[in-house]
């Protein structure tokens, strides 16, 4: 398939190496620094920190970032919109409202995760039910239904914030919305990561179909694609992936938008390697941002600050490189 495919493969290898380096760094960097020697020597405190905090947090950073990047590629391709993200069908807003309800009415991180996941799923189900009313199955209907559900979820969130205790609950809601990998433990992550991995295992082999969905509906249909059913399935799977991540981490901005753009600017196409590179870029970005979030200041900072701070200049650099070439 030529020189360009070879270059894309090299970039994927480099992306995987970057992820591996950041994965290792994420395991050992933090308020309580770990050392390989102490871990090998069986230092009990270090082992406990490693297994209960760092390992799960790093896994969520790697898998979550990868999932957000790959799902972003899917959304942008299917909607033929470079600004498409999970927000376009109201997932993030549903997850936020669900998390706020969890913080107000239940206790414990696992309950908030479950509540947020339920909120995200509920948003998707309402969007899909609304769009099913339009028999033509147009993707514009899905976007419009997403905007309606997004507004509805924002209203619910505002109402919940109004009833929240300003000292504790309101701060928790705001902190959740800002996104963080802090407080993630092994007990609450397993199911979500498994769901993420399963959804990604479904999405990657469907890459060729996802590309077919990027054309006009009639054109795709005449290429043998059952457009309505396939689009519904692909979007539902991508949304499940995102829901599984953000219900653990809170809202993480920019990765779903930036990672696919960065990958496309590097490979100049939309092949499966580009989708993989979107995931690798997403995973690297989230892990790098998380390392900075926990080590840049005396208190833990929201991870979205760093995903934007790291991502935006990188994207500008790539765009400048592209415009120079033209």
Partner 1 sequence: MDFFTVEDLTAGYGKKEIIDHLSFSVDSGCLAGVLGANGSGKTTLLKAICGILPHTGSCILEGTTLEKLNPRQLSQRCSYIPQRSGISIDISVLDVVLMGFNPWLGLLERPTASMEQKGRKALALAGLEGKEQQNYQTLSEGQKQLCIFARALCCEGHLLLLDEPESALDFRFRYQMLERLRRWLSEDARAAIVTLHDPSLALNYCHRLLLLSEGKILGTLSPGTDSLPRMEELLEQIYGQISLARLPARSGREHLVMLREEA
- Site residues (vs partner 1, CB under 8 A): 1-4, 77, 80, 205-206, 208-209, 211-212, 214-219, 221-227, 264, 268-271
Residues in the chain: 326
Name the residue nearer to partner 1 (CB basis): 53 or 275.
Answer: 275
Q: Least separation, in Å, of the C-beta of 326 and partner 1?
A: 11
Q: Least separation, in Å, of the C-beta of 207 and partner 1?
A: 9
Q: Least separation, in Å, of the C-beta of 11 and partner 1?
A: 15
Residue 76: closest CA among 302, 256, 263 = 256
The separation between the first and the last C-alpha atoms of the chain, rounded to the nearest angstrom, is 24
Give CA–CA dist 322/300, Å, rounded.
Answer: 36
**6 burial via Cβ count (<10 Å: 0-12, 13-18, 19+):** exposed
Name the residue nearer to partner 1 (CB basis): 165 or 216.
Answer: 216
Give CA–CA dist 293/298, Å, rounded.
Answer: 10
Name the residue nearer to partner 1 (CB basis): 24 or 222.
Answer: 222
Give CA–CA dist 71/192, Å, rounded.
Answer: 15
Q: Least separation, in Å, of the C-beta of 108 and partner 1?
A: 40
Residue 177: closest CA among 85, 258, 256, 246 = 246
Sign of CA dihedral 90, 92, 96, 101: positive
Q: Least separation, in Å, of the C-beta of 264 and partner 1?
A: 7
Report residue 127 as tokens: 């969007």
Q: Least separation, in Å, of the C-beta of 82 and partner 1?
A: 10
Residue 160: closest CA among 242, 94, 252, 87 = 94
Name the residue nearer to partner 1 (CB basis): 157 or 266.
Answer: 266
Name the residue nearer to partner 1 (CB basis): 37 or 324.
Answer: 324
Q: Least separation, in Å, of the C-beta of 203 and partner 1?
A: 11
* Residue owning tokens 């990672």: 259
Name the residue nearer to partner 1 (CB basis): 165 or 219.
Answer: 219
Residue 241 has phi, psi (to 5 degrees) of -60, -50
Q: What does the DSSP 8-state code read for residue 89?
A: G
Give CA–CA dist 218/165, Å, rounded.
Answer: 53
Residue 127 has phi, psi (to 5 degrees) of -60, -45
Name the residue nearer to partner 1 (CB basis): 2 or 42.
Answer: 2
What Rg value do the Cα atoms of the chain yield, rounded? 20
Name the residue nearer to partner 1 (CB basis): 165 or 269.
Answer: 269
Q: Least separation, in Å, of the C-beta of 87 and partner 1?
A: 21
């Amino acid at each position: 398939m030529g020189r360009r495919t070879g270059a894309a493969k090299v970039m994927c290898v480099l992306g995987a190496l970057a992820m591996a380096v950041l994965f290792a760094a994420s395991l050992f960097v933090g308020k309580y620094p770990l050392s390989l020697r102490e871990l090998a020597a069986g230092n009990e405190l270090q082992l406990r920190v490693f297994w209960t905090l760092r390992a799960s947090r790093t896994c969520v950073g790697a898998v979550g970032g990868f999932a957000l990047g790959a799902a972003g590629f899917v959304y942008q391709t299917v909607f033929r919109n470079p600004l498409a993200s999970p927000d376009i069908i109201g997932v993030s807003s549903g997850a936020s409202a669900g998390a706020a309800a969890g913080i107000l009415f239940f206790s414990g991180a696992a309950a908030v995760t479950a509540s947020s996941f339920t909120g995200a799923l509920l948003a998707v189900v309402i969007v899909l039910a609304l769009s099913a009313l339009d028999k033509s199955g147009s993707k514009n209907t899905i976007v419009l239904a997403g905007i309606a559900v997004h507004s509805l979820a924002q209203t619910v969130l505002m109402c919940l914030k109004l009833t929240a205790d300003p000292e504790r609950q309101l701060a928790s809601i705001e902190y959740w919305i800002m996104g963080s990998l802090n407080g993630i433990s092994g007990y609450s992550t397993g199911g979500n990561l498994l769901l993420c991995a399963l959804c990604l295992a479904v999405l990657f082999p469907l890459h060729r179909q996802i590309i077919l969905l990027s054309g006009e509906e009639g054109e795709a249909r005449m290429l043998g694609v059952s457009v309505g059913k396939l689009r519904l399935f692909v979007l539902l799977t991508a949304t499940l992936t995102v829901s599984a991540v953000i219900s653990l981490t809170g809202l993480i901005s920019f990765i779903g938008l930036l990672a696919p753009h960065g990958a496309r600017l590097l490979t100049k196409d939309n092949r499966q390697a580009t989708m993989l590179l979107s995931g690798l870029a997403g995973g690297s970005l989230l892990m790098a941002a998380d390392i900075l979030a926990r080590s840049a200041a005396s208190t833990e900072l929201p991870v979205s600050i760093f995903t934007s701070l790291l991502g935006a200049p990188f994207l500008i650099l790539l765009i400048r490189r592209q415009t120079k070439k033209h």
